[in-house]
Amino acid sequence: MRDTVMEYETSKVLKFAREGKRVDGRALDEMREITIETGMSENAEGSTIVTLGKTKIIAGLKVDIGKPYPDNQDEGSISIGAETLPLAHPDYESGRPSADEVELARVVDRGLRESKAIDFKKLCITKGEAVWVGFLDFYALNGDGNLFDAGSIAALVTFNNAKLPKLDKEGKIILHEYDGKIKLARQPLLTTFAKVGGKIMLDPTYLEEKASDARYSAATTDDGFISAMQKGVGGSFTLEEVDYMIDKAFEIGDKIRKQIKQVK
Amino acid sequence: MDRKIDYKKTKKRLDGRKMDETRPLSIKTGVIENADGSAYLEWGQNKIYAAVYGPREVLPKHSADPLRSVIKVEYRMTSFSVPQRKRPGPNRRDQEISKVLGEALSRAVFVEQFPNTEIGVYVEVVDANAGSRVACLTAASVALADAGMPMRDMVAATGVGKAYGELVIDLNKDEEDAPDAVDIPIAILPNSEEIVLLQMDGLLTRKEWDAIAKLGIKGCKQVYEIQKKALVEKFELSEAKGKSQVAKEKTVKKKTVKKTVKKVKK
DSSP string, A37-95: EE---TTSSEEEEEEETTEEEEEEEEEEEEPPPTT-TT--EEEEEEEE-TTS-TT---S
Q: Facing residues of B218 across strands?
A: none
CB A150 within 8 A of CB A57: yes
B119 close contact with A: CB closer than 8 A: no
Instruction: Give the distance from residue B154's alpha carbon to the nearest chain A alpha carbon, in angstroms.
Output: 21
Q: What is the pLDDT of residue A126?
A: 93
Q: What is the pLDDT of residue B247?
A: 62
A44 close contact with B: CB closer than 8 A: yes
Q: Facing residues of B7 across strands?
A: none
A54/B79 touch (CB, cutoff 8 Å), yes or no: no
Residue B243 lies in a domain: yes
Chain centroid offset of residue B31 CA? 14
> What confidence tens digit (pLDDT) does each residue in A23-64 have?
999 999 999 999 999 999 999 999 999 999 999 999 999 999
Strands, E assignment, A73-220: 77-84, 124-126, 130-142, 163-167, 173-181, 189-196, 199-202, 214-220
CB A213 within 8 A of CB A195: yes
Q: What is the pLDDT of residue B236?
A: 85
Q: What is the tally of structural domains in chain B?
A: 1
Based on its alpha-carbon atoms, the radius of gyration of chain A, rounded to whole angstroms, reads 19
pTM (two decimals): 0.87
Residue B2 lies in a domain: no
Chain centroid offset of residue B4 CA? 35
User: pLDDT 10s per residue in chain B (266 long)?
Assistant: 455 899 999 999 999 999 999 999 999 999 999 999 999 999 999 999 999 999 999 988 888 999 999 999 999 999 999 999 999 888 999 999 999 999 999 999 999 999 999 999 999 999 999 999 999 999 999 999 999 999 999 999 999 999 999 999 999 999 999 999 999 999 999 999 999 999 998 889 999 999 999 999 999 999 999 999 999 999 887 777 776 666 665 555 444 444 444 444 44
| Residue B91, domain extent | 7-265
CB contact set of A89 (below 8 Å; sequence gap of 6+): A140, A142, A143, A206, B34
Residue B37 lies in a domain: yes
Residue B171 lies in a domain: yes
CB B171 within 8 A of CB B181: yes
Instruction: Give the distance from residue A92's alpha carbon to the nearest chain B alpha carbon, in angstroms.
Output: 11
Residue B260 lies in a domain: yes
- A44 → chain B, closest CA residue: B80
Domains by residue range for chain A, with CATH = 33-261 (3.30.230.70)
DSSP B70: E
Q: Average pLDDT, stretch A157-172?
A: 93
Report the CATH number that the domain containing residue B171 is assigned in CATH. 3.30.230.70
Of residues B121 and A180, more confidence is placed in B121
Contacts of A58 in chain B (CB under 8 A): 78, 126
B88/A137 touch (CB, cutoff 8 Å), yes or no: yes
Query: What is the bridge-based pairing of β-strands B117-127 and B70-77?
Result: parallel
What is the ipTM score, two decimals? 0.85
Q: Average pLDDT, stretch A134-139?
A: 97
Cα(B197)–Cα(B155) distance, rounded to whole angstroms? 9
CB-facing half-sphere around the CA of B173: CA atoms within 13 A: 11
CB contact set of B2 (below 8 Å; sequence gap of 6+): none
Residue B66 lies in a domain: yes
Provide the residue count of chain A: 264
Query: What is the bridge-based pairing of β-strands A226-232 and B182-189?
Result: unpaired
Residue B137 lies in a domain: yes
CB A255 within 8 A of CB A220: no
B72 close contact with A: CB closer than 8 A: no
Residue B1 lies in a domain: no
With 0-12 / 13-18 / 19 or more C-beta atoms within 10 angstroms meaning exposed / middle / buried, residue B161 is buried
Q: What is the pLDDT of residue B261?
A: 46
A86/B74 touch (CB, cutoff 8 Å), yes or no: yes
Chain centroid offset of residue B13 CA? 25
> What confidence tens digit (pLDDT) does each residue in A246-259 have?
999 999 999 999 99
A139/B35 touch (CB, cutoff 8 Å), yes or no: no
